[in-house]
Each structure stands twice: as structure tokens, then as C-alpha cells.
Structure 1
Amino acid sequence: MSPINFTHILTQAVDELSESESYKGLFHQHTDGNPLPSAHALCNIVELARAIIFPGYFGNSTVNSRTVTYHIGVNVERLFDLLADQIWAGLCFGGDGECNACNEYQREEAAQLAANFISRLPQLRRVLATDVEAAYNGDPAAHSFGEVISCYPAIRAISNYRIAHELLLLGVPLIPRIITEMAHSETGIDIHPGAQIGSYFTIDHGTGVVIGETCIIGNNVKLYQGVTLGAKSFPLDADGKPIKGIPRHPILEDDVIVYSNATILGRITVGRGATVGGNIWVTENVPAGARVVQRR
């Protein structure tokens, strides 16, 4: 029995897939010589940043008080080189299918942005230290700060978010979103890099948490698993497309607690010290100090 020849089927599929109308909006037109963002390089960047912020817990485990300056110095140099390359790739990457024209000016801009980010690492460590403390103090199952740093998915997700948020504030395109989506894939915690989150922030368990782009979260806020801080609706423009960049997500003031699977939608405010119970839907402002729970 002669083998069946599938060449004509494969050729037809190739011809159909190569039709420009079929990949409209789905094709990235690369320009020779332009770099592309690398998921592998960005993973290395996040690990280097974690090793700098939490020395000994990430990266080289043999670091001690005598060698910490050396190890941080090596990691900072590596981080600068990798980050400058990835920021350059982000600057060259067009948003609508074609690369922007890349030139030496953008490479210099990328290096400056990478240096500016590294200058913010001391402050980033100070804020992340408050997040570690909040996670430890808020969980009786936590036995040490080291356990929180090494094991808790919230710290991984929040550290990715804080790294990405700083890059976003510096005006770096694309790269911040990739970094937060890496944490989303790893932990199930989805924090948009555009959200504004204060100190002493913690997420207990964490899986299924969603924090939208225009959320504003104060200090000492605690979320449990499954919490959604989302948008209630999307205003449309004349062409029926969502209007970008408008405030559409909740504001949580200081000392707020939101329990598991609560859904808080729209540009509403949950006042200072309020508690939102689990498994409820909130679309109106919550007064300071209030307790919003299910009725029996």
C-alpha cells in the first residue's frame, strides 16, 4: 500500500496562513537589527533584582556579611547590562505590528533608564521589607521572615509588581507588563504594573487575586485569595472601543481588609479601616470603619 501524500493539504494550509488578511493585527513585522524582548532575559533580571533586594535568599546562597558588598556589586553590574538591553528592546518594539526605528539614541536612553531603576533599588528594598513584615505579622503559620521571603507566593508577585511599577514610572514600555504577567503565571496573582500600592501590603494565600491598572491601595492593606479589584464597565469611544487610561478601578484606603472571593468593582472607595467580607459583590462606596458582610 503506497503512503498517502499530504503535500497538497499542507501547501493549502501554508497559503491560507500566509494571506495578509488572515494575520492582520496578529503579525509582528520585525526590522533587521532591532532587538526583541526576551522572556528568558527578563526572568534573569527579576532573579537578579531579588538577589540584590534579598541577598542570600535568592541568587548565591553562600553570601555573608563579609562578601555581601561584592555579591551585590556583581549582581548590580549584570542587572544593568541585561536591563539596558531589554529596555532597549522595549523601546524598539512597536505596539501595532511593526518595530519602531531603533538608533543609538534609544540605546543611550535605555542605559539611562536602567541606571535610574538601579538607583531606586534601595527604596524598593525598604518598601518590600514592609511587605515581608506584613505577611509575617498577618499569618500565624509563618515562623520567620526567611520563610516568608523564600516560600510565600505573595512576596514573589508583589516583588515583581514593585519592580515593574518602578519601570513603568520611568516610562519603560512593554517590559513592566511582561514582568507582572510572569508572576501571574507563577503564582496566580494578577497585579497590573500601573496600580498604586502603599507599604505593608500583603496577600494571604493569593491564588486568583486580580488588581486592576488604575487601583489605588493605601498602607497596611490585606487581601485574601480570590479577591477581584476590577472595573464595573468600560466606557466606549465613537468607534465602540474601550477608552484607555481612565480611572475605573477601586480605591482602598489605609488599614482595609478584604476577605476571600470578594469582588469590588468600579471607581469606588473603601474607606480607612473598613472590612469587606468574603464572597460578596461591592459596587458602592464603603464608609471608613464599616464592616460589609453577607446577610444571613
Structure 2
Amino acid sequence: MTQAAAPTSASTPAPGDELQPVVEALRGARQRWREAHRRGGDGRELPSRELLAAMVQALSGALFPMRLGPPTLRPEDEDFYVGHTLGTAMTTLRQQAALELRHDARQRGERQPTEDAAELAGRFLRTLPAVRVLLDSDVLAAYRGDPAARSVDEVLLCYPGLRALISHRLAHELYKLGLPLIARVVAELAHAETGIDIHPGATIGSGCFIDHGTGVVIGETAVIGERVRIYQNVTLGAKSIPTDGDGHAVKGRPRHPVVEDEVVIYAGATVLGRVTLGRGAVIGGNVWLTRSVAPGCVVTQADSLDGTT
């Protein structure tokens, strides 16, 4: 025996009656936003997070095919896989770069981009051997610096700091080529996955070891030297944000720390402003630091509170 449907009250609106005003209001909001921000009406105008995520995964496999590539890959097929994967990734990059370049041109009031997406993709491709060398140094730094690491393969497969550095090394090259939006998407995908927030503009030297990593923040203009070790919840941030006469943030000025070679920054330390941590300095846990530190100095939490070193 089937139960009869309850009759609809004459005062209860039908689903379509509820939806239509919301759909129209959202259309109006979109139109106002697009007019205010010079958006066109020619379909997708910005790079796709989903396609860029797939591109980064493909590039990771091409950089480390027998570790991050497909599980069925055999050594004799390595070069074929790398070539095919790079070709696919560069097709994606050309398409996504063209979207970013066209968007930037519209924002400047220009009809055509001044840069060529295919040329930028080619230049990025040629950076990959050097990126692999840098990542090899990062893997070794983690293996040598962590007594819990049993092999370099464990570091590559398991360590979130290395995962974040793979994305950062790629994003930094894209940033330098003039594709900051794509670079930022790549960086934020890694941030969401690892909890490590590295702006693609940050410069990081070879042999970087981000241990544990969750909560690490590294700002856009930070400069990190070689063989630097950073623990979880470290912030390399800006002390203050300069503004123009209208109160808008002034962009591009150096405002984050410079960390020289062989510095160690322990968990929970916060270093703000364009200060320099000299070579070999050690910054203790939970230190709050807004001044430069001489090479070789050890700064503890008590030192940071009373202003001594």
C-alpha cells in the first residue's frame, strides 16, 4: 500500500519560485563584479586549479619518475615516460599561461598580451634540470639532518617539507617568468596539502630542510641561504605593511627576513621584518624577533624578550 503524497499548501512556494529570485540576484552580483573588474564574457578567463594540480603531479613524476611516477613504470621506459609527461604538462602550462597573460592584459587595458605563452612554457621547461639538482640537495639535507630518516626514498615519499619544496621550486620558476597567478595557485595547492605556506616569490637556496613543517610561513620577499633548517610553526613574515596615500598596501618592497647560510630556526619562532639572521645563527623555539642577529649567535626566548644576544 503506497502512502499518498501530502497536498501542497497554496501558500507554500514551489521550488522554482524560490530559486528564480536567487538566480537573478546572483546574476546581478556577477555582472556588477565583472564590470568593476574588467571581466569579459568569453568563457573561462582564469587558470584552473584542477588542471594546475594535475600539471604539478605530472612534473613531480617527471622529476622523480621511479619514485613519484606511475607504479607500473619500468626503468627501460623511463625516458619515454618523462618525455610524454613533460609534453602533456607543457601543453597545460601553455594553455593556462595564455589565460593569465590575457587576463593581465585586460587589467592593464591592453588588447593583447606582451608575452608569449609558448615562449614562457619553453623557458620554464629548460629550468627543470636545475630544479632537479636543487631538490636532490633538499632530499639529502633532510636525510642527513633527521636521525629518523632511514633512506632518501623515505624522505621523498613521506616528508611534507620535501613535498612543499617540490611545489615551491616549480612555483618560484613560474613566478620569475612573470606568471605569478599560476605560481600562487601551485603554492597554495601545496599549502592546502602540507600546511606549509611558502610564497612563490621567496628565494630558497640549496639544501633546505623543513622538518615536520606544519604551520611554517615564508613570505614573498624572504631570502633563505644554503643548508638552512626550519622547524614547524616558524614564521618569516613582515613586521608592518607600508601603505600609500590612499591606505592601500604598497606591493613589491622587501619586507621579509634574510636568512644566511646554515641558520637553524627552531619550532614556533617568529622573525618579522627585513632583518638578517647571520650565517650559522641559531634561533631558539618560540622566539619573537624583529632585529638582525650576528653570524654564529644563539638567540633564546629569554634573549628575545630582554633584547640581548
What residue number does 2:267 align with? Answer: 260
CA distance in 2, matches of 1:12, 1:252: 52
Unaligned runs of 5+ in 2: 1-8, 304-309
Range 264-273 or range 81-90, more displaced: 81-90
Q: In structure 1, what is the Cα distance between the partners aligned to 2:170 and 2:201?
A: 11
Q: How many residues align?
A: 293
**Cα distance between partner residues in 2 of 1:32 and 1:218:** 44
The answer to whether the 8 A contact 1:30-1:99 is kept is no
Deviates more, 1:36-45 or 1:206-215: 36-45
TM-score normalised by the chain length of structure 2:
0.86
Q: How far apart in 1 are the matches of 2:28 and 2:67?
A: 48
CA RMSD of aligned residues (A): 2.6
Asked if 1:239 corresponds to 2:246, the answer is: yes
SS at match of 1:229: strand
User: Aligned pair 1:52/2:62, yes or no?
Assistant: yes
1:131-157 CA-to-partner distances (Å, cap 9, x unmatched) read 011111111111111111111111111
- Please, what TM-score do these two structures have when normalized by structure 1? 0.90
1:147 corresponds to which residue? Answer: 154
Name the aligned partner's letter for residue 257 of structure 1.
V
Q: CA deviation at 1:9?
A: 8.7
**How far did 1:102 drift?**
5.1
Aligned equivalents of 1:149 and 1:128: distance in 2?
A: 10
Describe the superposition over 1:87-110 as per-residue Cα deviations: whole angstroms up to 9, x where unpaired: 11111224887996457x86xx11
The code of the aligned residue for 1:82 comes to: T
SS of the residue 2:179 aligns to: coil
Aligned pair in 2 of structure 1 residues 91, 19: CA closer, same or farther (>3 Å)? closer
Pair 1:5 & 2:13 matched: yes
Q: Given the superposition, is the C-alpha separation of residues 115 and 96 from structure 1 closer, same or farther in structure 2, using an over 3 Å criterion?
A: closer
Q: 1:195 to 1:12 in 2, by over 3 A?
A: closer
Return the offset for 1:122: 0.6
The runs of 4+ residues in structure 1 deviating greater than 6 Å are: 24-28, 95-100
Alignment of 1:1-296 (within 5 A): 1-2=9-10, 4-5=12-13, 7=17, 11=21, 14-15=24-25, 18=28, 23=33, 29-32=39-42, 35-94=45-104, 101=111, 109-295=116-302
The offset of 1:10, in angstroms, is: 5.8
**Residues 97 and 4 from structure 1, CA distance in 2 versus in 1: closer, same or farther, beyond 3 angstroms?**
farther
Matched residues in 1 for 2:133 and 2:233: separation? 27
Which amino acid in structure 2 is aligned with residue 263 of structure 1? T
Of the structure 1 ranges 33-42 and 146-155, higher mean CA displacement relative to structure 2 is found in: 33-42
Label 1:36 to 1:219 Cα distance change in 2 as closer, same or farther (>3 A).
same
Instruction: Please give the alpha-carbon distance, in whole angstroms, between the structure 2 residues aligned to 1:54 and 1:16.
Output: 45
Equivalent-residue separation in structure 1 for 2:57 and 2:32 (angstroms): 39
Identity %: 43
**Unmatched tracts of structure 1, length 5 or more:** none
2:219 and 2:276 mapped to 1: Cα distance?
Answer: 14
For residues 169-213 of structure 1, give each alpha carbon's deviation from its aligned partner in whole angstroms, at most 9, with x where no partner exists.
112241001100110111110000101110000111101100000
1:11 is displaced (CA, Å) by 2.0
CA 1:236–1:23: 2 relative to 1, 3 Å? same
- Tell whether the 8 Å contact from 2:288 to 2:301 is kept in structure 1 after alignment: no
The answer to whether the Cα contact below 8 Å between 1:117 and 1:166 also exists between their aligned partners in 2 is yes
1:132 alignment partner AA: V
Which residue identity is paired with 1:83?
L
Larger radius of gyration: 2
SS in 2 for 1:42: helix
